[in-house]
């Protein structure tokens, strides 16, 4: 009896011991195993929580932010929660105009190059959103999210029109690193699809596999990947090589991590200038032999059976597929005056603080021109002149008119009505002011006279536009 009892306790003890060991082992394995946040939008493999790249296909998950965002109706839903200001980090230019406009001290402050809202002190006046010269502040109730209208695309950046792809700023996100990766992913998808295409008929031997519209970061990356993949291509640019980069409104560009450029390798420019990036792009093009047809503005893209017909620069091109890598604002309207191609001429502003202490000429008669002038006038030591060909501002908001009148009265903005630019030189600008020639010292020219957006082209092609709700990022965004 005693031996039976002892044997029972011994077996029980061993069972408990091994059970505990197995439980501890399983717990340790669970602790060691990575936590998975979601499947990669491209390859479907699980991506570890917090990982920026898919461990299987290596694609940065950030490029799918817009694709994965929730599709919503055009109008925001009503909320019982109080309104407060939300700053879009990738649009804020750090001009501090909102700080001066807010009646609640401390509710919005400037930290580095970003306006930051204190949710406790913000009571929803909305003065900051009204004053913001670049529309980077939204008054929202509930969750912080930005509603945007974007083309509907798949995770390969193909639209609802088969064979038509949209990458870069036109797709809703203009960050350089995203644009580069999107162009690469789109061409990789095209290369896979091309392998299954039937051989071209004799009458279509001149058809290229892909036509790429635009030679900014997204377009150049797409072109390089097409070259690497052995695809026949034509690359069309309305201006000069990398015109998007050349006219990029930021003076400084920051890449937080190296970017892998097809056929070139890692590109890492830390806290450098757009001129450095442009030099690097030109080096990449020269090294790889990428062919870019500059001064070929695309006037029309039409679908003709299984082909696309592209009219640009007085020529017609036929392509199996098309990648649109244009800017969201399309083609900015130009003055067509001597010197407009100088690097000091921009059509938008991103970092106003870079214009501090400089002589700046702003050209235009709409709200964007007036708001740019007011934001620049808020920078230390900046001399701002606003030139408009009309006799008065007929199309601006009343609040902008009042602010402009005050800035002119205070001497912070010099207003030149009935004036036109005759010539832009490296250190001066020549204007005709009411029939009198005037020369002004000048470091920068900001042209805000509108543009020709690509929306009409997308509509003709049948591209579906949708509204998406994109969470506002809590971290400070960089240019890259």
Q: What is the pLDDT of residues 75-113, one digit of tens each?
A: 555 556 677 888 876 567 677 788 888 888 889 998 866
Q: What is the mean pLDDT of residues 148-167?
A: 91
Q: What is the pLDDT of residue 66?
A: 80
State the pLDDT confidence band at 38, using cuts at 50, 70 and 90.
confident
Q: Which domains does the chain have, with CATH numbers?
A: 9-67 (no CATH), 73-150 (3.30.70.20), 153-330+453-463 (3.50.50.60), 345-452 (3.50.50.60)
**Residues 425 and 411: beta-carbon distance below 8 Å:** no
Q: What is the pLDDT of residue 162?
A: 94
Q: What is the mean pLDDT of residues 419-442?
A: 96
Winning range, highest mean pLDDT, from 59-73, 104-118, 237-251: 104-118
Least confident range from 166-180, 229-243, 308-322, 415-429: namely 166-180
Q: Where are the beta strands (DSSP E) in 425-464?
A: 428-433, 436-441, 444-447, 451-452
Hunting for tokens 């056929």 — which residue is that? 263
Least confident range from 55-59, 69-73, 310-314, 348-352: namely 348-352
State the pLDDT confidence band at 8, using cuts at 50, 70 and 90.
very low
Q: Is 60 exceeded by the pLDDT of residue 25? A: no
Collapsed DSSP state (helix, strand, coil) of residue 234: strand
State the pLDDT confidence band at 32, using cuts at 50, 70 and 90.
very low
For residue 378, the 8-state DSSP code is T
State the pLDDT confidence band at 476, using cuts at 50, 70 and 90.
very low
Q: What is the pLDDT of residue 442?
A: 97
Q: Is 80 exceeded by the pLDDT of residue 187? A: yes
Q: Which of 479, 462, 471, 472 is nearest to 166 (CA)?
A: 462
**Residues 278 and 285: beta-carbon distance below 8 Å:** no
Q: What is the pLDDT of residue 389?
A: 93
Q: What is the mean pLDDT of residues 217-229?
A: 92
State the pLDDT confidence band at 475, using cuts at 50, 70 and 90.
very low
The Cα 137–Cα 140 span in angstroms is 9
Q: What is the pLDDT of residue 125?
A: 78
The Cα 302–Cα 113 span in angstroms is 43
Least confident range from 209-223, 255-269, 457-471: namely 255-269
State the pLDDT confidence band at 20, using cuts at 50, 70 and 90.
very low
Q: Pairing mode, if any, of strands 331-332 and 315-324? A: unpaired
Q: What is the pLDDT of residue 33?
A: 44
Percent of the chain with pLDDT over 90: 31
Q: What is the pLDDT of residue 16?
A: 43
The Cα 302–Cα 461 span in angstroms is 7
**Residue 48 vs residue 194, higher pLDDT:** 194
**Using one digit for the tens of pLDDT, what is the confidence trace for 335-390?**
989 999 888 998 877 677 788 999 999 999 988 899 889 989 989 999 999 999 99
Least confident range from 6-10, 310-314, 381-385, 469-473: namely 6-10
State the pLDDT confidence band at 145, using cuts at 50, 70 and 90.
low
The Cα 209–Cα 190 span in angstroms is 8
Q: What is the mean pLDDT of residues 309-332?
A: 86
Collapsed DSSP state (helix, strand, coil) of residue 413: strand
**Using one digit for the tens of pLDDT, what is the confidence trace for 255-298?**
545 566 776 666 655 555 667 777 777 888 888 899 999 888 88
State the pLDDT confidence band at 23, using cuts at 50, 70 and 90.
very low
CA distances from 347 to 118, 243, 312 (A): 32, 12, 23
The Cα 187–Cα 92 span in angstroms is 32
Q: What is the mean pLDDT of the chain?
A: 80
Q: What is the pLDDT of residue 267?
A: 61
CA distances from 65 to 40, 143, 153, 175, 205 (A): 12, 17, 12, 12, 38
Winning range, highest mean pLDDT, from 59-63, 243-247, 392-396: 392-396
Q: Which of 253, 469, 243 is nearest to 350 (CA)?
A: 253
Q: Where are the beta strands (DSSP E) in 8-82?
A: 36-39, 46-48, 70-72
Q: Which residues contact 92 (CB under 8 A, 6 or more apart)?
A: 113, 114, 115, 134, 136, 137
Q: Pairing mode, if any, of strands 451-452 and 345-346? A: unpaired
CA distances from 52 to 34, 60, 372 (A): 14, 6, 35
State the pLDDT confidence band at 471, using cuts at 50, 70 and 90.
low
State the pLDDT confidence band at 329, using cuts at 50, 70 and 90.
low
The Cα 361–Cα 384 span in angstroms is 6
Q: What is the pLDDT of residue 31?
A: 44
């Amino acid at each position: 009896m005693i031996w039976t009892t002892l044997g029972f306790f011994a077996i029980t003890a061993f069972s408990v011991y091994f059970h505990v060991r197995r439980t501890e082992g399983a717990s340790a394995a669970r602790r060691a195993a990575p936590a998975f946040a979601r499947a990669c939008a491209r390859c479907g493999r699980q991506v570890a929580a917090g990982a920026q790249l898919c461990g299987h296909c290596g694609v940065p998950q950030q490029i799918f932010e817009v694709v994965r965002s929730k599709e919503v109706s055009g109008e925001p839903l009503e909320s019982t929660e109080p309104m407060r200001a939300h700053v879009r980090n990738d649009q804020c230019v750090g001009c501090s105009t909102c700080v001066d406009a807010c009646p609640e001290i401390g509710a919005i402050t400037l930290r580095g190059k970003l306006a930051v809202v204190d949710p406790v002190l913000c009571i929803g006046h909305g003065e900051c959103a009204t004053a913001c010269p670049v529309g980077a502040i939204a008054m929202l109730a509930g969750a912080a999210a930005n509603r945007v209208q974007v083309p509907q695309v798949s995770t390969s950046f193909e639209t609802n029109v088969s064979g038509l792809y949209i990458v870069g700023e036109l797709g809703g996100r203009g960050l350089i690193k995203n644009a580069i990766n999107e162009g690469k992913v789109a061409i990789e998808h095209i290369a896979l699809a091309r392998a299954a295409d039937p051989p071209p008929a004799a009458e279509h031997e001149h058809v290229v596999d892909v036509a790429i519209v635009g030679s900014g970061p997204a377009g150049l990356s797409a072109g390089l990947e097409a070259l690497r993949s052995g695809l026949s291509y034509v690359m069309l640019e309305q201006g000069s090589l990398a015109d998007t980069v050349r006219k990029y409104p930021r003076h400084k560009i920051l890449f937080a991590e190296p970017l892998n450029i097809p056929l070139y390798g890692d590109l890492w420019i830390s806290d450098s200038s757009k001129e450095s990036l442009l030099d690097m792009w030109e080096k990449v093009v020269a090294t790889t032999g990428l062919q870019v047809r500059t001064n070929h503005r695309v006037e029309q893209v039409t679908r003709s059976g299984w082909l696309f017909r592209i009219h640009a620069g007085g020529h017609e091109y036929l392509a199996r597929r098309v990648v649109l890598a244009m800017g969201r604002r399309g083609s900015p309207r130009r003055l067509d005056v001597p010197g407009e191609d100088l690097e000091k001429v921009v059509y938008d502003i991103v970092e106003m603080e870079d214009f501090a202490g400089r002589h700046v000429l702003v050209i235009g008669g709409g709200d964007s021109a007036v708001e740019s002038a007011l934001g620049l006038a808020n920078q230390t030591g900046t001399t701002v002149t606003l030139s408009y060909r009309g006799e008065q501002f007929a199309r601006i908001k009343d609040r902008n008119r009042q602010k402009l009148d005050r800035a002119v009265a205070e001497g912070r903005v010099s207003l030149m009505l009935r004036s036109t630019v005759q010539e832009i030189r490296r250190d001066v600008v020549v204007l005709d002011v009411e029939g009198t020639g005037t020369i002004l010292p000048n470091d920068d020219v900001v042209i805000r006279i509108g543009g020709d957006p690509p929306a009409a082209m997308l509509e003709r092609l049948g591209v579906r536009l949708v509204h998406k709700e994109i969470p506002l990022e809590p971290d400070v965004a960089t240019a890259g």
